[in-house]
């Protein structure tokens, strides 16, 4: 299992770095679209659409082509990001509050449409972030990665109060606080690096500090960490409703694409929303 995880991680890392380092943006956009389309296929399987799930992937791929045709691959309307922010904040809270049992009671076509829409927004956000610059994109992704790492170690060391035992028994409030502290430390370090070195673009943290000041940046960063937890819990809720542990076995040793990118789904568009201020 460990060998599979390492090999899969190295292959994905090689593809990611390779597409990020080339001058045109389209190889990275195409690589991201393949992953998101795979996630759409997984979403269909998790929501009683096993026979129909390939069609969901095709629909999402067509949406990506349409985004290129509209020129949204580099500058999508800010209204999209703010709409996604409202959807994730209010809708995410509502779904998590309703619980696992309520999810399957919603009409299947509505669940399919919601999943494809959220995945399409995430792909469009990551492509737009790449158009700003690699440093900018990586800083957004590292909000989620650092929050996850700090929450894991903080939860193991101090975790006592369960966050959502009916959805994800392993998560604790202490893990959430640890994740927030870890990302604030990351933000401080990245701000210092931005001041000392010249990159292709400022990081998300520099963008936020410039537009909102340090207090505003801190509040937005904490909000993004909270949303990463919402994204993680949301996918866990859907998997519990489907009675499965992983979204698929597409990534040997890692499970499915959704399992690896669930926390990024809300963070990417919401980060772009605040950066557009």
Q: Specify whether the CB–CB gap between 244 and 46 falls below 8 A.
A: yes
Q: Quote the domain boundaries for residue 266.
A: 2-275
Which pLDDT belongs to residue 52? 67
Q: Specify whether the CB–CB gap between 127 and 28 falls below 8 A.
A: yes
Number of domains the chain is built from? 1
Neighbouring CB atoms inside 10 A of 241's CB total: 21
Strands 162-164 and 168-172: antiparallel
pTM of the predicted protein model: 0.91
Q: Is 24 exposed, middle or buried (0-12, 13-18, 19+ CB in 10 A)?
A: exposed
Mean of pLDDT over the chain = 88
Torsion sign over Cα 239, 240, 242, 244: positive
Q: Residue 6: is its pLDDT beyond 80?
A: no
Confidence of residue 61 (pLDDT cuts 50, 70, 90): confident
CA angle 179–210–128, rounded 5-degree value: 75
Which of the two residues, 102 and 6, has the higher pLDDT score? Answer: 102
What angle, 0 to 180 degrees and rounded to 10, lies between the N-to-C axes of helices 264-275 and 108-132?
A: 50
């Amino acid at each position: 299992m460990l060998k599979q995880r390492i090999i899969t991680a190295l292959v994905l890392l090689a593809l990611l770095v390779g597409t990020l380092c080339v001058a045109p943006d389209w190889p990275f956009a195409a690589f991201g679209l393949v992953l998101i389309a795979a996630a759409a296929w997984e979403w269909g399987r998790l929501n009683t659409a096993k026979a129909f799930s390939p069609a969901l992937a095709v629909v999402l791929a067509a949406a990506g082509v349409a985004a290129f045709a509209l020129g949204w691959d580099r500058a999508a309307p800010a209204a999209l990001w703010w709409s996604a922010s409202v959807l994730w904040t209010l809708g995410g809270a509502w779904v998590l509050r309703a619980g696992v049992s309520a999810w399957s009671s919603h009409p299947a076509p509505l669940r399919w449409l919601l999943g494809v829409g959220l995945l399409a927004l995430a792909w469009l956000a990551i492509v737009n972030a790449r158009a700003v610059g690699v440093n900018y994109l990586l800083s957004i992704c590292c909000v989620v990665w650092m929050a996850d790492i700090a929450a894991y170690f903080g939860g193991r060391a101090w975790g006592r109060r369960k966050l959502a035992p009916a959805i994800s028994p392993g998560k604790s409030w202490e893990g959430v606080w640890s994740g927030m502290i870890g990302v604030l430390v990351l933000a401080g370090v990245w701000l210092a690096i931005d001041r000392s070195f010249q990159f292709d673009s400022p990081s998300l943290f520099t963008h936020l500090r410039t537009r909102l000041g340090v207090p505003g940046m801190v509040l937005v960063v904490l909000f993004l960490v909270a949303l990463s937890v919402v994204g993680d819990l949301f996918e866990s809720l859907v998997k519990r409703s489907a009675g499965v542990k992983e979204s698929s076995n597409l990534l040997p040793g890692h499970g499915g694409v959704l399992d690896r990118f669930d926390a990024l789904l809300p963070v990417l568009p919401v980060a772009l929303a605040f950066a557009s201020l």
